[in-house]
Amino acid sequence: MTIWFATGNVHKKNELYAILAGAGVLNGGREFLIPADAGLDFDPEETETSFSGNALLKARELYSLLNRNGAWHRGDAVIADDSGLCVDGLDGRPGILSARYAGPAATAGDGKKLDSSQRNTLLLGELGDNPCRTARFVCSMVLFYNPDRFFLVQETFEGEIVKGPDFAAGTGGFGYDPILFIPESGCTVAQLSEEEKNNISHRGKAGKIIASLLEKTCQN
């Protein structure tokens, strides 16, 4: 059995691999691959208006791509996720546009999307000294066997946006991790160890549910 993860993001691949391996679902010869591992170009346009919609879109697109290329085998499964940061003081932005969070800095030069550091700076500047700093990471994750049989879960990771660029901290994780402070842990997400993050994060919680569903359903 091959479990395909519908992403080109190596950081996400490594996180989900650790989560699934920790849950024991990669035992017994199961492979865990992303499209690039099979030499496949996978970068679908995320046109839906919700995390769950985009997760399903990516799952369907990868399922179709694998079938077209003869890489899909009976018993395989696709996992797809869509995730992002929702900031209450920004009316839920950047939300589903988290990886494509844009502004003047994104178009003033070569038109490329902002990198993580630039997105963090843009978000902190937009939020300014707004006292409402509650925010959460959201992860919608799909376990997909075929277009008529799939399971979807959605989880969150609650925290607060740091007061400004000088309060961003940590070198772990990726994306917005350095600017989301977790009061219960007393640190930003980027200061958590990989194990700590996977135990309490949005992707960790969703991944554990998906792992449980995988064990219950892969033979049925």
Q: Catalogue the active-site residues.
A: 82
Q: How far apart are CA 70 and CA 74, in angstroms?
A: 11
Reading across the β-sheet that carries 134-146, which strands appear in turn? 31-33, 2-5, 77-87, 134-146, 149-161, 180-182, 187-188
Q: Which residue is associated with the tokens 């490594």? A: 14
Q: Contact 119/105 with Cβ under 8 angstroms?
A: no
Q: Where are the beta strands (DSSP E) in 25-179?
A: 31-33, 77-87, 134-146, 149-161
- Cα angle: 142, vertex 145, 150; to 5 degrees: 45
Site of tokens 């046109």: 47
Q: Helix, strand or coil for residue 47? A: coil
